[in-house]
Structure 1
Amino acid sequence: MTSFMTENTIKNIDMNYIFNEVRPITEYGIKKKREAKPFRKGQEADLKKEFNKIRAFIESPRRRDIIDVLKHIKNIYETLERTKHNQVLDEVELFEIKNFQIQTEKMEKYLKTLSIDDLKLTPIPQLYKLLDPANERMNTFYIYDDYSEKLKSIRDEKKAAEKNIGVLKKAIKEEVEKKYGIKLNLKDEITISKSEQEKAEEFSNDANLRICGENYLNIIFKIKNNSEIDELEKRMEILKNEEDDEEFKVRQKISKEIKGYYDLIMSNINIIGETDYLIARANFAQKTRSVEPEIVHELEITIKSGRNLKLEKSLKEKRKEYMPIDVSLRKNVACITGANMGGKTVSLRMIGQIAALAGYGMFVPCEYAKLCLFDHIFISVGDDQSIEKGLSTFGAEIVNLKEALEYSAERCLILIDELAGGTNPKEGYAITKAVVKYLKSKSCITVLTTHYDNVANDEDVQNLQVAGLTLPDSDDLFKINNIEQISKYMDYRLIEVKYKNDIPKDAIKIARMAGIPEEVINDAENYL
């Protein structure tokens, strides 16, 4: 385990689900989320600043305005890199830069209202002026005449030539229409049937007409340029090439000047990305009714009404109620005992999820939380068996345990579900007892669930017990006969208990509620 969390831990506490639900708008915000690093021990003050920013966006009346701006911000990474490598931008790319400047100016005004020191954009009015020399303040880009006197001269001559060509063609068109009593279409064309041989021959001999197309029925005639028009069109072609050359020089100059602002633009991109990611977390906090956790230096986790977000959503879709859990971990090792289906694994995952959320600078799904930061978070649950690696359930548990113990001297959160449950009970108990003894002196918090008696019979080990089943009347009990109904009678709360020789045994009760024959139930009770 060389990172904050292994892939297995990320999966088991549903962090991928959560990060998928945190949705920045821009490519810059998505990049910030993808590159997010956890806050670790020693970074408590930095995390507090991060929480202050999220809270500022939650409380800001300008959040909706900023979101509207973010929706109009496009990815200009590639465009900027082209300028950095002295490549000439085209008009679309120059428009992208201009649009980015427009949106940056808008956002800069909104961010000022939040007064967050390290979330301040740098206005670049000289860059905007470069891209809008005519000061039109429009969300478009054009290579204005203002950029070059030569360009203006070329365009003026082009316009004059176009106008002259238009006048000459109009005169020819009117002459042809008057001569033959016809009406040419908008393309200066007329179509006649081949059966009109006399008219076709007359049109063919006219100096102002030429054949531009025909089929087996018709011939299409079009007005013909005279020598003056031909000369003007040749000049137009030359002017067009000169205009393209001059526009290229203008774009080359603008691109070079944009390169000079590369660092400032990248700094603004970074702030926009951070703003986007902060707002995404603020939105997620409100959507999930999450709160700002209190971050402490001491080894502690206290959670009031904690919820596992993915499970809560799943239950809601099934129209089932989620029971929040309180937990206060004050010792290095805590054992959670209780029957299967008592929610022990859910509690482990909830603890890991809340600790990871806080570590990644996010509000947490509960009414209140106070916890420390961890260098590593680790969870091992019973379904970690790896068929591909040829490991049994117990083998996979031991591999996971080895990874956790290697880092137990650091500030870790270690969550273990049913340690050694996949081997024989005597050895399983011995291993579990030994692991508890080893971890209780380490500078980490360990929470493990177990079915083994006497694991927590140590004053240095905290013993938490699932409240368990609250059974209905015996007559109603026999009518249930459906394991799906058990959740109605299960109290998932964790209650701190003093040392007991035996852990709760609700398995027989669950078997009875599921409809197992009473003869089997009675024998099981006798054996117990």
Structure 2
Amino acid sequence: MTENTIKNINFDYIFNEVKPITEYGIKKKQETEPFKKGQEADLKIEFNKIRAFIESKKRRDIIDVLKHVKNIHETLERSKNNQVLDEVELFEIKNFLIQVKKMDKILKTMSIDDLKLTPLPQLFELLDPAHENLNTFYIYDEYTENLKAIRTEKKQIEKNIHLLKKKIKEETEKKYDVKFNLKNEITISKSQKDKVDELIKDTNLRVSGENYLNVVLKIKNNDSIDILEHKYEILSNEEEEEEFKIRQNISTEIKKCYDIMHKNTRIIGETDFIIAKANYAQKTNSVEPEIIYSLEIAVKGGRNLKLEKTLKEKHIEYVPVDLNLRKNVICITGANMGGKTVSLRMIGQIAGLASYGMFVPCQYARLCLFDHIYISVGDDQSIEKGLSTFGAEIVNLKEALDNSHERCLILVDELAGGTNPKEGYAITKAVVNYLKKKNCITVLTTHYDNVASDEEIQNLQVAGLMLPGEADILKINNIDQISKYMDYRLIEVKYKSDIPKNALSIAKMAGIYSEIIEDAENYL
């Protein structure tokens, strides 16, 4: 699909509404490619997965797991490049392994062949030597005896330093009748000059700060404390070195599991994206389409999702449409405001969604896959290229014709409607004659007579206005009310040369002055 097609069938709007949870799911969505002719079997497998999640009671459990899956791509790449991971990165790996284990347990109950994770219990054991099974990580004492011994000695030194300082603290409080605060400081008012002098001279205390009112003192290290703190610093360096060796060893083991973990991220992304499609299918009452090999599109109760939402916001009911496109060229004719363009977009939307492995908005659909999908509608002016509506339409048509040797779905709204009627009819008729020989489905809306007067052309006609009596028409003076009288159904008709003409009736119902209406009728 071209960007123009994606926009005009509202595919971009719908695809944005499919919302994976994880960064892996978002990446999978961004990289997804359409299924084309020849990939029908693969598409059916994709639909089976979506259906499995729609039917499964475990979908909510997997969603809960997905919410806890974080992106470990950079961490994995660092391990692959022989970088030593830090504790935060090792926590990320451990959390990922926990979520893989949980998701694997759920997926196994669903038996979806392509969605099989590979838990890594040995790697998890390495990250959880204390067997806590908690979603936390630190360098455990259990990693090495040396680390355990260093930390034990450090704790003892901390305890000894605390005892020495506690003794000094108690002796100072008793000797000078003072009190240390929670920060182990003594604050003395400068007005107590003698006590301040006494405390400053004490060899166990040092001035840590002062202002114009007070002097603040703290315990001063003695030789015993200095020796202990020096030993503590040496042990801290030894602990850091030992922890580095442990992290280095774990990082090496993670590197060995790189391929498996990378594959697990891919499966998580695919699972996430499929669940997002399943969620959207349920939200929009979309169904699994039947994929066939022959050139055909059949839809019962088809809807355009974006328009349906817009109408719902205005409290207007959407009228679903049935259609069965069996021939290479189909002309949709009928009343103005009869929903021909809406039906055209809906056809493209359903074909586009199916090609991207999504359920489609209707009660039932049967269709084939295409190599290309094109749509040209009357509002495709290009200011940048200096193209009129007709010019832009012809550029779009040329692109479709260039690829018509492959299987295409070509949707054209009012071909050549922006030029004079004689040339417009001639171009339309010639394009129809050309495309009816191609292995494509081409759907055109037109107001030109005789375009569908050919047994090789399928003609669908909007049922049209169910006009009230003349007196009732005169009471209608608001164009928004016309939809109440419009039957949007598409009815197949046989080779009619003339198409319905409702423009004057609609003009009358919209309140155009009777003088103008009568003059127009005289011209007809």
Return the match for 1:143 from 131, 139, 149. Answer: 139
What is the alpha-carbon distance in structure 2 between the residues aligned to residue 393 and residue 526 of structure 1? 31
Report the secondary structure of 2:298's partner residue.
strand
1:525 counterpart residue number:
521
Report the secondary structure of 1:198's partner residue.
helix
Return the match for 1:267 from 260, 263, 270. Answer: 263
Deviation at 1:339, TM superposition (A): 2.8
Report the secondary structure of 2:69's partner residue.
coil
1:285 partnered with 2:281:
yes
User: Does the CA contact (< 8 Å) of 2:327 and 2:456 recur in 1?
Assistant: yes
1:27 partnered with 2:23:
yes
Report the secondary structure of 2:29's partner residue.
helix
Return the match for 2:91 from 90, 95, 106. Answer: 95
What is the alpha-carbon distance in structure 1 between the residues aligned to residue 285 and residue 480 of structure 2? 28
Deviation at 1:488, TM superposition (A): 1.1
What is the alpha-carbon distance in structure 2 between the residues aligned to residue 471 and residue 148 of structure 1? 89
User: Does the CA contact (< 8 Å) of 2:290 and 2:367 recur in 1?
Assistant: yes
Deviation at 1:494, TM superposition (A): 0.7
Residues 115-514 of structure 1 mapped to structure 2, 5 A cutoff? 115-514=111-510
Report the secondary structure of 1:464's partner residue.
strand
Q: Counterpart of 2:228 in structure 1: which amino acid?
A: L
1:46 partnered with 2:34:
no
Q: How many residue pairs end up in the alignment?
A: 524
Report the secondary structure of 1:369's partner residue.
strand
Q: TM-score, normalised by structure 2?
A: 0.99
Deviation at 1:246, TM superposition (A): 1.5
Report the secondary structure of 2:449's partner residue.
coil
Show CA shifts across 1:83-114 (max 9, x none): 11111111111000000000110000100011
Q: Counterpart of 1:449 in structure 2: which amino acid?
A: T
Report the secondary structure of 2:115's partner residue.
coil
Q: Counterpart of 1:448 in structure 2: which amino acid?
A: L
What is the alpha-carbon distance in structure 1 between the residues aligned to residue 328 and residue 495 of structure 2? 16
What is the alpha-carbon distance in structure 1 between the residues aligned to residue 17 and residue 391 of structure 2? 34
Q: Counterpart of 1:110 in structure 2: which amino acid?
A: I
1:70 counterpart residue number:
66
Hey, which bits of structure 1, 4+ residues long, moved more than 6 A?
A: none
1:11 counterpart residue number:
7
Q: Counterpart of 1:69 in structure 2: which amino acid?
A: V
Deviation at 1:391, TM superposition (A): 0.9
Report the secondary structure of 1:415's partner residue.
strand
Report the secondary structure of 1:516's partner residue.
coil
Deviation at 1:525, TM superposition (A): 1.2
User: Does the CA contact (< 8 Å) of 2:335 and 2:465 recur in 1?
Assistant: no
User: Does the CA contact (< 8 Å) of 2:297 and 2:326 recur in 1?
Assistant: yes
Deviation at 1:501, TM superposition (A): 2.1
What is the alpha-carbon distance in structure 2 between the residues aligned to residue 206 and residue 475 of structure 1? 113
What is the alpha-carbon distance in structure 2 between the residues aligned to residue 507 and residue 87 of structure 1? 74
User: Does the CA contact (< 8 Å) of 2:452 and 2:497 recur in 1?
Assistant: no
Show CA shifts across 1:189-211 (max 9, x none): 11111111111101111111110
Report the secondary structure of 1:398's partner residue.
helix
Q: Counterpart of 2:389 in structure 1: which amino acid?
A: T
1:114 counterpart residue number:
110
Answer with 379-388 or 181-190: which moved more: 181-190
Deviation at 1:225, TM superposition (A): 1.3
Q: Counterpart of 1:202 in structure 2: which amino acid?
A: E
What is the alpha-carbon distance in structure 2 between the residues aligned to residue 238 and residue 340 of structure 1? 89
Deviation at 1:522, TM superposition (A): 1.0
What is the alpha-carbon distance in structure 1 between the residues aligned to residue 333 and residue 519 of structure 2? 24
Q: Counterpart of 1:327 in structure 2: which amino acid?
A: L
What is the alpha-carbon distance in structure 2 between the residues aligned to residue 182 and residue 32 of structure 1? 69
Deviation at 1:454, TM superposition (A): 0.3
Show CA shifts across 1:384-430 (max 9, x none): 11011011111111111100001111111000001111111111100
User: Does the CA contact (< 8 Å) of 2:404 and 2:440 recur in 1?
Assistant: yes
Once the two structures are aligned, what percentage of the paired residues are identical?
76
What is the alpha-carbon distance in structure 2 between the residues aligned to residue 38 and residue 188 of structure 1? 70
Deviation at 1:160, TM superposition (A): 1.1
Show CA shifts across 1:121-145 (max 9, x none): 1111011011111111011001012
2:76 counterpart residue number:
80
**Structure 1 unmatched runs, 5+:** none
Q: Counterpart of 1:21 in structure 2: which amino acid?
A: E
Deviation at 1:502, TM superposition (A): 1.1
User: Does the CA contact (< 8 Å) of 2:382 and 2:392 recur in 1?
Assistant: yes
Report the secondary structure of 1:210's partner residue.
strand
Deviation at 1:461, TM superposition (A): 0.3
What is the alpha-carbon distance in structure 2 between the residues aligned to residue 223 and residue 405 of structure 1? 90
Deviation at 1:355, TM superposition (A): 0.4
What is the alpha-carbon distance in structure 2 between the residues aligned to residue 506 and residue 180 of structure 1? 108
